[in-house]
Amino acid sequence: MTTYYTVGVMTKPHGLRGEVRVYPRTDFAEERFAPGSMLFVRPEGGTPITEVEVRSGRKHQNMWIVGFKGLNSIHDVERWRGLELCVSEEQLLPLPEGTYYIHQLVGLDVFTDEGERLGRLVEVLTPGANDVYVVRRSGRQSDILLPAIPDCILAVDLAANKMTVHLLPGLLDDDSESEG
């Protein structure tokens, strides 16, 4: 079974010529929304309903305006409001050494550089300057938020399903509780 990865979410039509506003969910928007690029359309997290070829794509503020071949009016794309644009696993672009796709990181077991298991990485937040890894702790209420910076993230071993981290001061709730 083929796995698909979301590269954008269509928010609403743009103009009358079949273009849509797309909120990008990829680091490769220039490639994904370039003319000739092949994408799949699907409901959120669902099975693709059709494949489309990009006829035009341009950045507009924090969005992309994307048109598809054969869809030339607002009526052709109105029904796609809120649907995802995705690529198949075979279409994923190679990443530089030491960088990973989010889907490769989610599910990793996270250990400190001293060998203590902290929990499992459950989500990657992308708030701005650097990503933040959300680690769900075993048997504890609160998650740990780890900045994705070299001082904190020491090693990622996909084959062993393991991430090794250095806990910077203040990253654990326990640290602040013991100081008070």
Question: What pLDDT sits at residue 99?
Answer: 86
- Would residue 41 count as lying in a domain? yes
Same domain flag for 25 and 51: yes
Report the length, in residues, of the chain: 180
Burial of 19: CB neighbours in 10 Å, binned 0-12, 13-18, 19+: buried
What's the half-sphere exposure (Cβ side, CA atoms, 13 Å) at 147?
12
The whole-model pTM stands at 0.74
For residue range 140-175, list pLDDT tens digits in order: 678 999 999 999 999 999 999 999 999 988 777 654
19 occurs within a structural domain: yes
**pLDDT tens-digit profile of 80-125?**
999 999 999 889 888 888 888 888 999 999 999 999 999 999 998 8
pLDDT given for residue 140 in this prediction: 66
Burial of 121-131, coded b for 16+ CB within 10 Å and e otherwise, reads: beebeeeeeeb
Classify 105 as helix, strand or coil.
helix
Which residue do the tokens 């499992």 mark? 120
Q: Which domain holds residue 145?
A: 102-165
CATH of the domain at 22: 2.40.30.60
